[in-house]
Amino acid sequence: MTMITTATLREKRIPKNPGVYLMKDAKGQIIYIGKAKDLSKRVTSYFTKRDHNGKTARLVQEIADIEFMVTDNEIEAFLLESNLIKRYRPVFNIELKDNSRYSYLKITDEQFPRLLVARRNRNGEFSGPRGRIYGPFVRGSSKYLTAGLLRKLFKVRVCTRLPKVPCLQYFIKNCDAPCIANVTREKYMEGIDALRQILEGKSSVERFAQEMEVEMKRASDIGDYERAREIRDTLYRLSDLRIRQKMEKANKRPHEEYVGIVRDKKKGVAHVMALKRTHGVISDRRKFEFDIVADNSFSSFLLQYYSSAPAIPQMIFTSEEPEEKGVLLMSLEKLAGHPVKIAAAGNSGERRQLVDLIMKNLSMYVERGYAPAVVELKQALALSVMPETIDCFDVSNLGTDIAVGSSVRFVNGRPHKGGYRKFRIETVSGQNDFAMIAELVRRRYKDAKDLPDLVVIDGGRGQLGAATSALASTGLIVPCIGLAKENEEIHVQGAKEPIVLPRRSAALRMLQHARDEAHRFGLAYNKNLRRLTRP
């Protein structure tokens, strides 16, 4: 439970200046770092607003203390926030994760060192055996080499402990078998030293290849053809890396970058993709995601991303205008040392096509977490949120003496029995389906906290109008549609014509299943009541 109250906030006398705030939990750990133009106004809003999303509400519950760092202006606050996030890596802040790349490499402190992949945890620590860390390395860098290929090139052992017999790597010429003293430590360390030279940037793959070619010629001249063949095989493996390094030199200053963002509001996650284009060629693609919590935004992502990049491009095209664009630009220019421009990609042309390609790929990442029928329904109805949770209503009245209604819930395309509700009509007499639907909707959501993403009514325009009026009377804004059984038409409030989906449509089948389930559930309740009231 949070120890922060409005009273303790007043006692803290929060400055009204620009700056950075550091939120801590009960253990004193920094859990979130944010920046603000007016620290007092922003920090106070966390405890006075009542419409936080789930993740922000969880953050607020964990806050036990807040510290402040005042700056002279917003730009300094932007940059200070970025630096502090990198230093403390708070759990609620944006952490740039790119699982398609190795971040760090480690050469162990052993008699015969090994090469390992190493990654930082949230505390900034590396696990595993002691050793020298190299990196972080990013895709597009000549140092972005798979650990497996580097081990082969420099004959680095892979075994955790030195065995007493050689393993397969020795027989396929990937290791000189220090385990059986087939190579001296001095000779083994020559390969390790060459590897270190490359990872430290003191040498290059190109230079190493040239030295290997000289050695291959020397081995051939003295008749050591086996050694010459081994070097030739190594050079063959190096050929791809030499091409990469040449590309890196050509691309050292990326000309343009394209960044797109798609938010999955249901899961509270933003997906971001960045493409780098140099001389018309796409040279890199990276995908990230971050939690939509507190002030985590597209703008804060861009600053974190580019403040960690080897170079900041002069031109960045984005799928949408980032928040606080002016301050962001000035912050990036201060980091880059040259002018930076952020602009929309336009409505047509190659740039628009590239941004559209990014958005299409990001949409696929979002859609993977939902049933195909749910995704199809979102597209068909042009909904802003994925209709993961759907409530369907139906009225069941056999005659005029007993009238009941039902509401069934589907979650990600499947029935969720915990969300089923049944009602005996209380305020309507006679055959008035419209009024009954209105009563059902009002009663279902009167005090409900678990609202659906979409309400479906069994019926046409009349039933839909009654349901939307009932929703409005409760102050709720939830998309609502009617499914008319005769022609399986989907009625949308305000639309002139109904939507007709193909009969084999997965979205239509899901809606039909929900409607049939609501009808079955309501009818069963009606029959049970009749049986109980029968004389």
Per residue in 387-432, pLDDT (tens digit) is 999 999 999 876 667 789 999 999 999 999 999 999 988 888 777 8
* Domain 256-367: which CATH number of 1.10.287, 3.30.230, 2.40.230, 3.30.420: 3.30.420
Provide the phi-psi class of 479: left if phi over 0, else alpha when psi is between -120 and 50, else beta: beta
Q: Residue 204: pLDDT above 70? A: no
Task: Write down the pLDDT at residue 101.
Answer: 44
Which of 498, 494, 470 lies closest to 486 in space, CA to CA? 498
Integer Cα distance of 357 and 204 in angstroms = 35
Q: Choose between 221 and 457: higher pLDDT.
A: 457
pLDDT, residue 88, reads 84
Would you say residue 1 has pLDDT above 50? no
Same fold, 6-88 and 256-367: no
pLDDT band for 140, please (50, 70, 90 cuts): very low
Report pLDDT for 13.
Answer: 76
Q: For residues 46 and 65, what is the distance between their CA atoms, to the nearest angstrom?
A: 13
Domain ranges (residues) in the chain: 6-88, 104-250, 256-367, 377-533
Residue for token pair 């109250």: 5
CA 431 to chain centre: 51
Amino acid (one-letter) located at 257: E
Q: Is the pLDDT of residue 120 over 80?
A: no
State phi, psi for 104 to the nearest 5 degrees: -140, 155
377-533 placed in CATH 3.20.20.140 = no
Q: Which of 229, 216, 260, 269 is nearest to 362 (CA)?
A: 260
pLDDT interval class at 298 (50, 70, 90): very high
Tens digits of residue pLDDT in 205-255: 667 677 777 877 887 778 777 767 766 766 665 554 444 444 444 444 447
Q: How many CA atoms lie within 13 A of 479 on its CB side?
A: 18
Do the beta carbons of residue 396 and residue 424 sit within 8 Å?
Answer: no
Residue range 6-88 in CATH 3.10.20.520: no
Q: Which two tokens stand for residue 175?
A: 């290791």
- Beta-strand runs (E) in 186-251: none
Tokens of 152: 């082969």
pLDDT confidence of residue 253: 46
- The per-residue pLDDT for range 6-33, each reduced to its tens digit, is 556 655 678 889 999 999 988 889 999 9
CA distance to 47, 479, 495, 497, per residue, from 500 (Å): 47, 18, 13, 9
Nearest residue to 241 via CA among 198, 279, 206: 206
Task: Say yes or no to pLDDT of 123 above 60.
Answer: no
